[in-house]
Amino acid sequence: MTEPIIYVVSDSVGETAELVTIAALRQFNGSDALIKRYPYIENTEDIDQIISRAIKDQGMIVYTLVKPEIREYMKKMTHLHQINGIDIMGPLMDKFEKKFERAPLNEPGLVRKLDEDYFKRIEAIEFAVKYDDGRDPRGLLRADIILIGVSRTSKTPLSQHLALKSIKVANVPVLPEIDPPKELFTVDPKRCIGLKISPEKLNHIRRERLIALGLNDNASYANIERIKKELEYFDLISRKIGCTIIDVTNKAVEETANLIISYMNHKKS
């Protein structure tokens, strides 16, 4: 018996149609079939070529075509030439259109686009974890945004929040006793954002943090004079870099993140 030929046709890459076809074939004890994938079908001329081959080979056509005019043309031609044609997307989209009472986007490749967005987001989250708290200065050269600030200015939560927007963020703590990494002064200052906070607010945050850890809130970490010294050093470093400053004194993480995203969008325009 001649090996049957199945033409998998799509106006995107055709992965969905091929996976469904393979899954169905496995229900027949792995029956052999030759699958020929034809991606990025955009016009009726492409359809005509596939129809001609299917007629010659007595093949079947399995298709995922989201553009209505191309899908209807394929349906018409398979019916005209008595070719077994299986429309995977069309019936489901028609049902959804009635259920949701609105027209579909009819845009090829959205599944792949969603996959790419997902993996970009995961990559950004992993990046934020790897280059958190100045762990590896090499990350500064690859980051979309670099956050600098003294301890407890929400650098880590901000990095994670922005990572969920697929933005690669590295953050660096600023301490008078430790020189900032040299990479911080070689990157484009437009990629660097300093997080400023009032001494009084930082004093309150640090004292609360010490109490939560069961420690004495009179420790030097929460001492107001120590805090002022750290903030003076932060001002010195941020001026040397020439970075944008955002005052986070009374801002939630989400609010600061929105300001950073707005800044990035303005920078691109």
My answer on whether 123 and 245 are in the same domain is: yes
* Domain count of the fold of the chain: 2
My answer on whether 61 and 186 are in the same domain is: no
Q: Is 156 buried (19+), middle (13-18) or exposed (0-12) by CB count in 10 A?
A: middle
Residue 63 belongs to what domain range?
5-108
My answer on whether 212 and 146 are in the same domain is: yes
pLDDT of residue 148: 98
pLDDT < 70: residue spans in the chain: 1, 30-31, 109-115, 269
My answer on whether 120 and 79 are in the same domain is: no
What CATH number should be reported for the domain holding residue 154?
Answer: 3.40.50
Q: Indicate the pTM of the whole model.
A: 0.63
Coil, strand, or helix at residue 169?
Answer: strand
Which of 108, 126, 142 terminates a domain? The answer is 108
My answer on whether 115 and 200 are in the same domain is: yes
pLDDT of residue 50: 95
Per the document, the length of the chain is 269
| Positions at the binding site | 149-156
pLDDT of residue 168: 96
| Positions at the binding site for ADP | 149-156
pLDDT of residue 32: 79
Residues 75 and 82: beta-carbon distance below 8 Å: no
My answer on whether 101 and 117 are in the same domain is: no
